[in-house]
Amino acid sequence: MPRTIRFDRRLEELHFEGESRQYRDVEGYVFHESELARFKAADLKNALSSAAGLYDADEMDVYIVEGDVDEFDDEWSPPGPVQISLQSGTLIVQIHVVTKVEEFNEETLPDVYRSILAPYLARRRAALHDIEMTADYHTSPFVWRIDIECSLRNRLASELFEVGRDAIALLEAAESGELTRETTLEMLRAGRADVLIGQPEGPWLDVKSAHYDLSTQHGKVAIAQAVARFANAEHGGIVVVGMRGKKVPSGELIHSICPVPIDGHTLRRYQSALENHLYPPPDLLDIEEFPDGQGQGIVFLHIPPQPEELKPFLVHGAVVDGRIEGAFISIVRRRGEGSIPITAPAIHSTLAAGRALLRRGQLPKDPQNSEGSP
């Protein structure tokens, strides 16, 4: 099977899809990030190994330029903080991270970075290879070089770049506190829920200091509504159980961590409540836990943005005058720190539009009711 990128020893060039790339003096080979999707990571390793053999070099570097592809020039464009490097036969994703955190020093910060990155890298079939300060700086900012070794099996070079880019975003979020839904999820998975303290609840984040009482209908409907709020919203969201909020004039801030009991059945109880009270099941819903080893921890539910065709998400059950009405259907979505009901006109217009499309044959009919009229 032909390789997607190769090294031409006669011309001393890398070749891929009819294009060539020469070695850039001092730095190495330079690619735009968009070009990396055109060849396999394993083929890149073989091509760099061939080049290293010709030049009798232990290391061959690939620098990556981000930004506007129309402005890209492989001779002059400045590379970004992610590069791919062949080091003694191993293909490494190398990132550079700038930190101004003074309470961390050269001895303690590597362990902090390891704890943040380890869960993320494990899910991306990667592992931390090495980390060190690039020079002996005595004042901030400090620049750290982090080497990541990735599995190359069935991967494009662009996927290696994404691992490095997202690792930088995760570390920067941990230091700055400028969190997104994605980086917040990674912080929780890394056991760094403390990073959320002082952050506001908002359109995609909600915390609860105690478990939903899933032994009652009220608790089951409550967790279904909490998930439905984010599923019906534009950007999805995260529900964290085991953190306490505090009201302030501007809204509500996350005040502290208050671990909740966790046992071998905790996640299944949450899953069962949602299966029985939320329809349709949200795409790619994650229910996870981070135990503290003492029978307690944090439970978090991640609701990615949902396809519009699945909305609205319906909750089987509603709270009416403080009581649960099991025969009712409730539809809610998130707005700011609270939730609002989806109105009857909005529901009717959605159903009417769907039925109109079905009548014109633009939507598939329900195979179980293919003989009935829409």
pLDDT digits (tens, 9 = 90+) for 21-57: 999 876 789 999 999 999 999 999 999 999 999 989 9
Contact 114, 167 (CB under 8 A): no
Predicted local distance difference test score (pLDDT) of residue 373: 43
Q: Which CATH superfamily, name and number, covers 197-361?
A: Schlafen, AAA domain (3.30.950.30)
Angle, CA 189 vertex, CA 307 and CA 158 arms, to 5°: 65
At 167-178, the pLDDT tens digits run 998 888 887 778
Paired with 338 in beta bridges are 335
At 65-96, the pLDDT tens digits run 999 999 999 888 999 999 999 999 999 999 99
Could you tell me the pLDDT band of residue 363, with boundaries at 50, 70 and 90? low
- Residue among 189, 210, 187, 211 nearest 197 (CA): 187
Contacts of 362 (CB under 8 A, 6+ apart): none
Using alpha carbons only, how large is the chain's radius of gyration in Å? 26
Whether the pLDDT of residue 274 is over 90: the answer is yes
Predicted local distance difference test score (pLDDT) of residue 147: 97
At 335-351, the pLDDT tens digits run 544 444 455 566 666 66
- DSSP run (H or E) holding 338: strand 338-341
Lowest mean pLDDT among 106-115, 149-158, 208-217, 240-249: 106-115
E-strand spans in 277-372? 278-279, 286-291, 296-303, 314-320, 323-330, 332-335, 338-341
Q: Where are the domains of the chain?
A: 6-176, 197-361
Predicted local distance difference test score (pLDDT) of residue 371: 44
Predicted local distance difference test score (pLDDT) of residue 269: 97
* 225: exposed, middle or buried (Cβ count in 10 Å: 0-12, 13-18, 19+): buried
Whole-number mean pLDDT of the chain? 86
At 97-154, the pLDDT tens digits run 887 655 556 677 788 888 889 888 998 999 999 998 886 556 667 788 999 999 999 9
Token pair in block for residue 51 = 């080049």
Could you tell me the pLDDT band of residue 202, with boundaries at 50, 70 and 90? confident
Give the β-pairing of 126-133 and 142-150: antiparallel
At 214-229, the pLDDT tens digits run 999 999 999 999 999 9
- Residue among 143, 168, 32 nearest 93 (CA): 168
DSSP 342: P
